[in-house]
Chain A
Amino acid sequence: MKEVRGGKAWLGILRIAYKLLTNDRPKFAALIVGIAFAVFLMVQMTSIFAGILGRASSTVTNIGARVWVMDPAVKTVANNIPMPDYVLDAVRSIDGVKYAVPLYSSGALVRLKSGSYQAVTVVGLDESSLYGRPDLVEGNVEDIYAENAFIAVRDAEFSKLEKPQIGTEFELNDHRGVIIGFAKVTSAGLFGTPTLYTTYKRAIQYIPSSRYTISFILVEPKNNADIQHIQEQVRRIGYLAQTKEEFVGKIARYYMFQTGLGTNILIMTVVSFIVGLSISGQTFYTFILENREKFGAIKAIGAKGHELLVMILFQATFTALTGYGLGVGLCSLLIALARFRLPNYAASITYLNLGIAFIMVVIIAGISSCIGIRKVVNIEPFEIFRG
């Protein structure tokens, strides 16, 4: 009896498994489409979710401060509750604070050259440090000190400002404004409004404000170990200090659980997983059942239980990976197409999304092949033989 063992010896068996799987084109296509659809749904949903979450905290990411001080009731950047000036002084006097600067952030309405009005977000940076300033792609950041100077962010919303040039003028509450530069940012906003940067002083001068004007206090600690102490001291005066990550997380949780939008997308993601699981689980299971007889014949001829197992696992893995690739490809294509039509389309395929979808696919393939494997490994070749 000739015994050949080792990896290469499996090739023929895997090739049979592959042919049994793919030679039935319509069924194989149904399998692949099922899994691709499931992956597509999952990646699409989680990408939209990730896109929205990323954008919801875009200001925090773009400003980049390590620690943010705010009113404890603040849930997002957009809805800030202004703080009195003494808070800034108090924060500055905390041990471990290297420096602390005010940040102004508010919505406003500008009147463009054409005479139409456009909602914008105005961010006012601390005069002396310009802490949190964006990188300019055009113009000189020093010009922000010039009269009426504003920097426009060249993000997806930029076109709403009617393609301004350096020197383009607009009106903001009867004040003249002039664009002196263009900034790029790492993260675009969720709210569909262009962003204008100016100095803190000019911002509160141009935009009618309540008694208090500081939206956030940006803190640079002397070192990371001081952060906890700073947070405690800020809490003592009735305010909240959060690290960038904590703040981003808070915003994410807010959108996830306290807005209909986030909750719905979360539910949709779960639903897409369940739908995907049932579609592809069902097709794969049917496939195995329909091939039960074939596996039975192979077993009768002399295949061992573990060889059938390897064949099914190979088929499941191959199907899952092909479907996964197709689903991810389809999703990327669709998001790219959507971006092409809507530059502001909020979806981002992150490695985390891909990873989640991948794990889901592995679970789907695992569960359905587990059920299938039991059906096949327990098969009685006699049933086949009997005819």
Chain B
Amino acid sequence: MAAAAVKAMGLVKWFGEGDARTFAVKDVSFEAHFGEMLFIVGPSGSGKTTLLSMISGILRPDAGEVQVEDRKIWSMTNDEIADFRLNTVGFVFQDYHLFPRLTTAENVAIPLILRRENWDDAIKVAETYLEIVGLKERTGLTPRKLSGGEQQRVAIARAIVGRPDILIFDEPTASLDGDTGRKIVDFIKKEILNDRRCIIIVTHDGRIYEYADRIMQMEDGKIMNTVQGALHEE
């Protein structure tokens, strides 16, 4: 098998100090591959978001290292890590975090603008990505005018507009109804996943487990077991 897209090595993260110290992630190692859609599932509070943040260059681990492609991200400087986030990863935050006062096209264009691309070009590219996620008619609106599912798709467009190798979704279906949620994950799998991309999805929504290539189960900061192939809730 080719080099891992993401390689987590002995990741540890705690919060608080002294007696109040609690471990959110306890010595987690795993690999994710290109062309793969990896699910991380587990109950609320099991450390999924913390783990995602460490592998995407957002949260510095207390121990361990993350290698993405061939770079050890936690050995880089802060500016290099920012560049890594900008160029290599795309996220969809749990609450989308769209900018309510910018149009959807401007929202989607932000990663390109941070890459110092020309404004008009960035907006044009953003519009084509909005078209890809099926929001061609919505480019000039602000996110408030959109439904939850539409906002989710704007967030997806913003995550993929910079063509990142690694895509990370935190509970993408949590605030959507079952149908919309399935449609979106179906769309991600069919339209966005390809063999040069690695998609990691954190969820505890059993209705979408069928889309996983591999499922890692987390509990209490540890990976309990890994299941190959889609898993169907009984």
Q: B156 interface residue, CB < 8 Å from A?
A: no
Q: A136 interface residue, CB < 8 Å from B?
A: no
Our pick among B59, B82, B99 for the contact of A304 (Cβ within 8 Å) is B82
A12 to B99, CA, bound (A): 16
CB nearest neighbor in A for B98:
A297
A302 to B53, CA, bound (A): 13
Our pick among B58, B82, B84, B122 for the contact of A12 (Cβ within 8 Å) is B122
A321 to B186, CA, bound (A): 50
Q: How large is the interface on B (under 10, 10 to 19, 20 to 34, 35 or more residues)?
A: 35 or more
Asked whether B111 lies within 8 Å of A4 as measured between CB atoms, the reply is no
Asked whether B119 lies within 8 Å of A23 as measured between CB atoms, the reply is no
Residues of chain B within 8 A of A13, CB atoms compared: 113-114, 116
A386 to B102, CA, bound (A): 23
Asked whether B111 lies within 8 Å of A301 as measured between CB atoms, the reply is yes
Asked whether B170 lies within 8 Å of A298 as measured between CB atoms, the reply is no
Asked whether B95 lies within 8 Å of A302 as measured between CB atoms, the reply is no
Query: Chain A: interface secondary structure?
Result: helix
Q: B115 interface residue, CB < 8 Å from A?
A: yes
A80 to B106, CA, bound (A): 72
Q: B34 interface residue, CB < 8 Å from A?
A: no
Contact with B along A363-387 (1 / 0, CB 8 A): 0000000000000000011101111
Q: B87 interface residue, CB < 8 Å from A?
A: yes
Contact with A along B153-183 (1 / 0, CB 8 A): 0000010000000000011000000000000
Asked whether A16 lies within 8 Å of B87 as measured between CB atoms, the reply is no
CB distance from B225 to the nearest CB of A (A): 25
Asked whether A23 lies within 8 Å of B116 as measured between CB atoms, the reply is no
Q: A226 interface residue, CB < 8 Å from B?
A: no
CB distance from B113 to the nearest CB of A (A): 4
CB distance from B16 to the nearest CB of A (A): 14
A228 to B61, CA, bound (A): 75
CB distance from B221 to the nearest CB of A (A): 15
A387 and B114 in contact, given A11-B119, A12-B122 (Cβ under 8 angstroms): no
Asked whether B101 lies within 8 Å of A293 as measured between CB atoms, the reply is no
Asked whether B79 lies within 8 Å of A386 as measured between CB atoms, the reply is no
Residues of chain A within 8 A of B122, CB atoms compared: 12
Sample of 19 A–B contacts (CB below 8 Å) = A4-B117, A11-B119, A12-B113, A12-B117, A12-B118, A13-B113, A16-B110, A16-B113, A19-B102, A294-B97, A298-B110, A299-B82, A300-B97, A301-B158, A303-B86, A304-B82, A382-B53, A382-B58, A387-B93
A residues whose Cβ falls under 8 Å from a Cβ of B: 1-5, 9-13, 15-16, 19-20, 23-24, 293-294, 297-305, 307, 380-382, 384-387
B residues whose Cβ falls under 8 Å from a Cβ of A: 49-50, 52-53, 58-59, 78-79, 82-87, 91, 93-95, 97, 99, 101-102, 106, 110-111, 113-119, 122, 158, 170-171
